[in-house]
Structures are given as C-alpha cells and as structure tokens.
Amino acid sequence: MRGRRHGTAPALAALTLLLAGCGGGDADDPSDTAGSPYPAPAPSSIPTPDPTPTPDRTPRARLLDVVALPAAGGTVETTLTPVVLPADATAYVARFDDPERGRLRTAIDDVTVPRGLELQAGVVSIGCDEPADVLLNGGGGLAWSAQAVPPKATVQCLVPVTFVALAAVPF
C-alpha cells in the first residue's frame, strides 16, 4: 500500500499542474475560452440605443412684445411681416398714423432677437382690451401668423388701440 501512496502523489501533482494551465480565468465569464475547443461567442451586432435623447436645437417662434398704439389705425393682419432690415421697419411703421410711428419704431429697434430667428410684426387686435395672449402659427415653409386671444374683461375706451405683435420666428 505504501507504494501506491507514493505513486499517487506525483500523479496528483501532475494533474494539478495540468488543470492549472486550463482556463486560468473566471469560470462564469463566457468570453474566457482559453483552453476550450469552442470559439468565443460573437459580440452582439445589434446597436443599443443611447439612453439620453438628443435635444431639439431647432429655434422656436417667440412672442417678444405686444405694442399698444392708441388711435394708430391699421387693420388686423392674417400674416406677419418681416422687419429684419431698417428699410423693412420703416416701410412697416409707415402704415400707421403719424403720432404712434415713433413708439413702434423704437420698440422694433429695441427688441433683442435670438440667434437663428428673425423679427416679424403684425397687427393682432384693434380695440380697447389688450389681448390675453398671442398665438404664433406657421413655419415649415409657411408664412407666420399671429392670432390674438381675446381678454375676458371688456374695458371701454375713448379711442381704439392697435396692438402690434413683435415675434421672433425661424426663417
């Protein structure tokens, strides 16, 4: 029996060395194929979606100001008029009665238009009450329009007031 015990010790040592050379990595790792007769599985070719959405960088139309011009005349307009150049502003302001032209021109000159947008103007209401809001519609190759949301209260006035919306819209 002693001979067998001594004979098994070298065999166990050889077996331990042989097994130590196989794999050598984590048994749970499927990509560890060292010593395996089978090839590693191919990585997935299906792209994974980016969990963070890309922000929309398209400029959006913004109402910048509504200028109230008492007794200025004019008519409610269905589309906005570009007032990008000084000549555009001069031509637009000329359609109103003289005393209020300066106030409107100052408002046009003083407004700050965000980058990527252009200034457009339009008469949205004529009456005594300032509109509760102005809705901007258009874009995508269509002309821009502005529609006044009527106020809830009605105020009596001596002269009608022309309300001109100044909006920054994508061009």
- In one letter, which amino acid is 58? T
**DSSP code for 90:** H
* 66 CB-near residues (< 8 Å, 6+ apart): 124, 130, 131, 134, 163, 164, 165, 166
CA distance 79 to 144: 6
pTM: 0.64
Is 169:113 a contact under the CB 8 Å cutoff? Answer: no
CA 98-99-100 angle, 5° bins: 95
Q: Which residues neighbour 54 within 8 Å (Cβ) at sequence distance 6 or greater?
A: none
Tokens 């000159």 belong to 109
Residue positions counted in the chain: 171
Query: Which single residue is written with the structure tokens 């070719």?
Result: 45
Q: Give the C-alpha distances (Å, rounded to integers) separating 106 from 8, 75, 90, 100.
A: 104, 21, 11, 10
| Confidence grade of residue 166 (pLDDT, cut at 50, 70, 90) | very high
pLDDT digits over 119-156, tens only? 999 999 999 888 999 999 987 667 898 888 888 767 77
Question: What is the per-residue pLDDT across 13-49, written as a single tens digit (0 to 9) for each?
Answer: 444 444 445 555 555 555 555 565 666 555 555 555 5
Pairing of strands 133-139, 142-149: antiparallel
Q: How high is the pLDDT of residue 150?
A: 82
Question: What are the pLDDT digits (tens) for 83-117?
Answer: 999 999 999 999 998 888 999 999 999 999 999 99
Residues 111, 134: contact at Cβ < 8 Å?
A: no
Query: Tens of pLDDT along 39-67?
Result: 655 555 555 555 555 555 567 899 999 99
pLDDT at residue 170, rounded to an integer: 92
Its sign, for the CA torsion 127, 65, 81, 73, is positive
